[in-house]
Structure 1
Amino acid sequence: MTATAEMIRKGRKFDQVLEGARRVFMSDGFEGASVDEIARVANVSKATLYSYFPDKRLLFMEVATTECQRQSRDALDSIDMAAEPGEVLLQTGRHFLRFITSKFGQQIFRICVAESDRFPELGQKFYNSGPAVMRAEMAAYFEQAEARGELRIEDRILAVDQFGELCKADVWPRLIFGVTKTVTEAEIERVVTGAVKTFMARYGA
């Protein structure tokens, strides 16, 4: 079955379905997750599940959006936005790279790309739920750091995007093209540390 995001309706078992789907998707991945198993774990009938989500991709993206919102909240709650730029960037980069290189993060990316023609709103919804929030928060932090004389940036949004791209160096292309299947903590630390050094060399006051 196919549908657009507008066809998702809420109800008293909506959260129950979502939590069951999250557990199955995190365990089995998108392709490996069956509607039967999601319904079983959520303790609902298939008819109830389909009444909320007529398409498995819509269910996956709803789970992904919710997870991304949670990741953004966790990052913002754990990062000390009063700290100096080098430390804030290190913490932000680690959160970002751990998420996008996770199995779940890669699946989200692939689904957004694969379904971009049929369901363009899926990618937009996911982007607005997390990446856009962090983008705005980091731009606001850069403004504060500039006011303290710690950074010199002409285009804050561009600087945020540049830092994100620096954090993808090496590991992200290898994952996406199937050159490697996993990324170690040591690799994440190496890439993020290098990204912070490069960023501060360009924008540090």
Structure 2
Amino acid sequence: MAQTETKPAIRKGRKFDQVLEGARKVFLRDGFEGASVDDIAREAGVSKATLYSYFPDKKLLFLEVAKGECARQADEAGELLAGGAPPRDVLRFAGGRIVEFMSSDFGFGFFRICVAEGDRFPQLGTEFYQAGPLLLRNRLVSYLKCAVERGELVIEDFDLAADQFVELCKADIHARMIFGVTECCSARHIKRTVDGAVEMFLARYGVKG
């Protein structure tokens, strides 16, 4: 009978956040494979022994950094999604945050690392998705349900509607980033894309007068 590999426990302590911030900088600069434990420890200002006491495996450290940043982004977006603001305002805010994170050095850097390491460490991408994109999607779904209850939107498939909005916000921008097209993420370009996503979403799911 095959044995399931047990995930090593992560121990938190006084220098835990310090280690995470140092690892964040090194992973983005050098990638998962290029990031050495020595460099991470040096950047964090801790000994290798201290680093290993928190994270016995580099994959765990990488995943913890990614999950923490994704959760923070989702929490910030969730503050407005949890309120009762009009759909146009909420969607414009949420769309802006989605694109800002996706196009940031951190967000895109970790996206590339997850893709590059996906074959060897498939759990990285799965847990990254669950900690970030899926968390934001679930909060968007909760807001859409409330908006429907208030009579502001008409939606039957909430999961599909949330997914469609996210993809509309990424239109052209994500592909340009992947293929290295310059000037893909100017403030004007992002605003144009998000505003278009909001208008198209409301044209499909808004209450007709």
Question: 1:77 deviation in Å?
Answer: 2.4
Tell me the distance in 1 between the aligned counterparts of 2:180 and 2:57.
27
Unmatched runs of 5 consecutive residues or more in structure 1: none
Aligned residues: 201
Tell me the distance in 2 between the aligned counterparts of 1:78 and 1:201.
22
Question: 1:5 deviation in Å?
Answer: 8.8
Q: Using a 3 Å threshold, how does the CA distance of structure 1 residues 113 and 25 change in structure 2: closer, same or farther? A: closer
Q: 1:138 aligns with which of 137, 140, 147?
A: 140
Percent identity at matched positions?
Answer: 54
Q: Using a 3 Å threshold, how does the CA distance of structure 1 residues 192 and 105 change in structure 2: closer, same or farther? A: same
1:159 aligned partner:
161
Supply the AA of the counterpart residue of 2:104.
S
Q: Using a 3 Å threshold, how does the CA distance of structure 1 residues 135 and 105 change in structure 2: closer, same or farther? A: same
1:75 aligned partner:
77
Runs of at least 4 residues of structure 1 off by over 6 A? none
1:65 aligned partner:
67
Q: Kindly report the root-mean-square deviation, in angstroms, between the aligned alpha carbons of the 2 structures.
A: 2.3
Contact 1:30/1:60 (8 A) holds in 2: no
Tell me the distance in 1 between the aligned counterparts of 2:139 and 2:178.
27
1:150 aligned partner:
152
Tell me the distance in 1 between the aligned counterparts of 2:16 and 2:115.
26
Contact 2:176/2:184 (8 A) holds in 1: no
Supply the AA of the counterpart residue of 1:71.
Q
* Mapping 1:26-37, distance limit 5 Å: 28=29, 30=31, 33-37=35-39
Q: Using a 3 Å threshold, how does the CA distance of structure 1 residues 54 and 182 change in structure 2: closer, same or farther? A: farther
Give me the TM-score of the superposition, normalised by structure 2. Answer: 0.85
